[in-house]
Structure 1
């Protein structure tokens, strides 16, 4: 049995074209701050991702106080530095066969196809690792690039939750995407 606080995915290392997916570690703090403290990065993310992104925010994240780093939460490493993250939040009970996908990438790496390849590599690993049959992703209406990433990875738009998110500039729709695997 794993001890409390153990990180079962700490040894995961997935190499893809131009990137590596691996566990976050304390040495990632400066790179995390560099990429996360950009006002464009959190515009399509939940409020758990603050702006400005402070050293205290980065320390809290790397300590597992923002998301549970014992789960399949991986850093996206490009050119030797952590510049984004990808994770699923597994469901429970009757929804235990599914999970919600989330990801972000530092703006310096946008528009190069990295996230499409990152999502494909991550799903190839996490779906069988967790025995998933469904993965879904929510995309804020003002983030068409994230919707394209999901569509290129076989996700289908299943609906829109109108005015589901309230951001400082007003209400936004949330687009729901899903992908199924045979099981």
Structure 2
């Protein structure tokens, strides 16, 4: 595998190609983040539910930091470790519903993590399940992955239901899995394989 350098980083992983046309099911569309999305992305990051269940950020979140995140997203994609996408209304792709990603991509072992978040106005309409389904189809058919993992807080019942609706299988509890603020937090682990009931839809 060819060694590449991206902004000073050494990588032997191939960059991840963005699906074109963007992934969509006619209700939600998953596309690259745009500079114009920064205010909506910042609003999502400062939503109380996002702050409760997602990894806390060090320091105050500002539009400048969110703009910097766009560059970080692209750097990770070029390094082949993560693809971050905006979840938007399929009828109006300027209206951001949230964000999603395949992260910790390991092409050697053909696995990755699945992450997502939704803005308050997009919740309760099945957008998260649709998003996870689109990511899974692309991960298996487009990237050739053999395993997806989804983790969430044991208190995040909504995300656990999303995982189950998307066909993921609950595997158990990862004790003291991540640092969260000044404490450590357990995570519920779910997985999806191509042969699982909805993994190939």
Q: How high is the TM-score relative to the length of structure 2?
A: 0.75
Q: How high is the TM-score relative to the length of structure 1?
A: 0.82
Matched, 1:76 2:87: yes
Matched, 1:20 2:34: no
**69 and 39 in structure 1: CA distance in 2 versus 1, 3 angstrom threshold:** farther
Give the counterpart of 1:9 among 12, 18, 35: 18
**69 and 109 in structure 1: CA distance in 2 versus 1, 3 angstrom threshold:** same
The aligned counterpart of 2:163 is 150
Q: 1:171 and 1:18 mapped to 2: Cα distance?
A: 37
- Give runs of ≥4 in structure 1 deviating > 6 Å: none
Gaps of 5+ in 1: none
- SS of residue matched to 1:9: coil
- SS of residue matched to 2:125: coil
How far did 1:11 drift?
4.2
- The count of corresponding residues between Structure 1 and Structure 2 is 179
The aligned counterpart of 2:133 is 120
Q: 2:125 and 2:172 mapped to 1: Cα distance?
A: 28
For the aligned residue pairs, the C-alpha RMSD in angstroms reads 2.9
Gaps of 5+ in 2: 8-14, 196-201
Matches within 5 A, 1:56-95: 56-64=64-72, 68-70=76-78, 71-78=82-89, 79=92, 80-89=94-103, 90-91=105-106, 93=108
**51 and 86 in structure 1: CA distance in 2 versus 1, 3 angstrom threshold:** farther
